[in-house]
């Protein structure tokens, strides 16, 4: 990227969606609901996948204010949409508007994918499986790991649940300690064992947890474009034996990832998770195998401006 300045995905999204006269009254509609939503690369990714398989589907970004979430979700049914993705700040609040949710979504209290089945709205979380697949593709096995998760929102909940199923020892770090404790309590009640710990991000225990971790996952937005000079934790907490996964994908190389590589640690950005969680949603909507490589290429092309 020229001058190492991150691409603004809002511009790329508008240029690459390619919505034109091919849309008809038979075109099936999917969407992403977020506030804000201009940064989302999901439209680029999903429309590329629909085009690759020749499906008469379209995916559109919808700016949904938190106060309008209920109306937007009811609109899925009213407009006979196939479904929708949920992003910040809607993943936790959407559940009360749905008819059914998967067991995982119920336990973690987070939904990122809604499927309209003949007017019945079903909620799922594909973030967890997307993260695990991305991590494995990056060469890190999460099974039995000492994992530290930064953040306690919807994505953090899904990732923690997925890691818990792989016998990871988990520590939740969050700026608001009460939010971290609430998530740890949910996970501990589910597992029946008091194994998940929670600390404030600015505590001494937080630094110790990261120094002893072999997996660190950033589920916060700290370091995301345009605030690329920010970093969620001090660099001196990092060490060469930790694998750092930053859920952020714009920029591709965050300050946290640079710091991790600087101490000799392995690291990966959030493109893989974006693609794999999107692939799972795609398959729920269409019943067809997602063209993962096409989706990944579309995301990278949008970010890198190629």
pLDDT at 4: 38
pLDDT in tens, 70-87: 999 999 999 999 999 999
Residues 284, 286: Cα–Cα separation, whole Å: 6
Radius of gyration of the chain (CA): 19
pLDDT at 192: 85
Interhelix angle 42-53/9-16, rounded to 10 degrees, is 30
Residue 56 pLDDT > 80 = yes
Residues 64, 71: Cα–Cα separation, whole Å: 9
78 C-beta neighbours (distance < 10 Å), count? 10
- The helix (run of H) or strand (run of E) holding residue 50 is helix 42-53
Q: What is the pLDDT averaged over residues 216-245? A: 96
Domains and CATH numbers, the chain: 2-125+272-304 (3.40.50.10860), 128-269 (3.40.50.720)
pLDDT at 268: 98
The answer to whether 274 touches 298, Cβ cutoff 8 Å, is no
pLDDT at 17: 42
Residues 155, 126: Cα–Cα separation, whole Å: 9
The answer to whether 225 touches 250, Cβ cutoff 8 Å, is yes
Beta strands in the chain (DSSP E): 28-34, 57-63, 83-86, 100-101, 113-117, 120-124, 146-150, 169-174, 197-200, 215-218, 243-246, 266-268
Beta-strand pair 169-174/113-117: unpaired
pLDDT in tens, 97-117: 999 999 999 999 999 999 999
pLDDT at 24: 87
Kindly write down the DSSP assignment for every residue of 237-265, as one continuous string: G--TT-EEEE---SSSS-HHHHHHHHTT-
Q: What is the pLDDT averaged over residues 49-72? A: 97
- Which one is catalytic: 5, 14, 63, 91? 91
Residue 20 pLDDT > 80 = no
Active-site residue, 91 included: yes
What's this model's pTM, rounded to 2 decimal places? 0.89
Residues 141, 272: Cα–Cα separation, whole Å: 15
Q: What 3-state DSSP class applies to 194?
A: coil
Strand partners, 100: 122
pLDDT in tens, 249-277: 999 999 999 999 999 999 999 999 999 99
Instruction: Enter the DSSP assignment of 25.
Output: T
């Amino acid at each position: 990227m020229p001058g190492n300045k991150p691409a603004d995905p809002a511009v790329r999204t508008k240029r690459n969606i390619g919505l034109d006269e091919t849309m008809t009254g038979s075109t099936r509609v999917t969407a992403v609901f977020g506030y804000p939503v201009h940064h989302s690369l999901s439209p680029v990714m999903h429309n590329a996948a629909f085009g690759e398989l020749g499906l008469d589907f379209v995916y559109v970004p919808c700016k949904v204010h938190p106060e309008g979430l209920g109306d937007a979700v009811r609109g899925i049914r009213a407009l006979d949409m196939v479904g929708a993705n949920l992003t910040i700040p809607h993943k936790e609040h959407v559940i009360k508007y749905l008819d059914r949710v998967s067991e995982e979504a119920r336990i973690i209290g987070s939904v990122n994918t809604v499927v309209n089945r003949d007017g019945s709205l079903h909620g799922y979380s594909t973030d967890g499986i997307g993260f695990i697949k991305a991590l494995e593709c990056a060469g890190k096995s999460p099974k039995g790991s000492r994992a530290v998760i930064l953040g306690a929102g919807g994505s953090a909940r899904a990732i923690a649940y997925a890691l818990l199923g792989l016998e990871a020892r988990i520590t939740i770090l969050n700026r608001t300690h009460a939010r971290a404790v609430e998530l740890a309590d949910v996970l501990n009640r589910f597992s029946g064992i008091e194994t998940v710990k929670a600390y404030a991000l600015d505590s001494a225990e937080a630094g110790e947890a990261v120094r002893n971790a072999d997996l660190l996952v950033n589920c916060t937005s700290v370091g995301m474009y345009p605030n690329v000079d920010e970093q969620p934790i001090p660099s001196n907490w990092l060490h060469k034996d930790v694998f750092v996964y930053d859920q952020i994908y714009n920029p591709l190389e965050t300050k946290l990832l640079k710091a991790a590589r600087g101490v000799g640690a392995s690291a990966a950005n959030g493109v893989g998770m974006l693609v794999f969680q999107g692939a799972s949603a795609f398959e729920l909507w269409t019943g067809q195998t997602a063209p993962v490589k096409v989706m990944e290429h579309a995301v990278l092309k949008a970010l890198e401006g190629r």
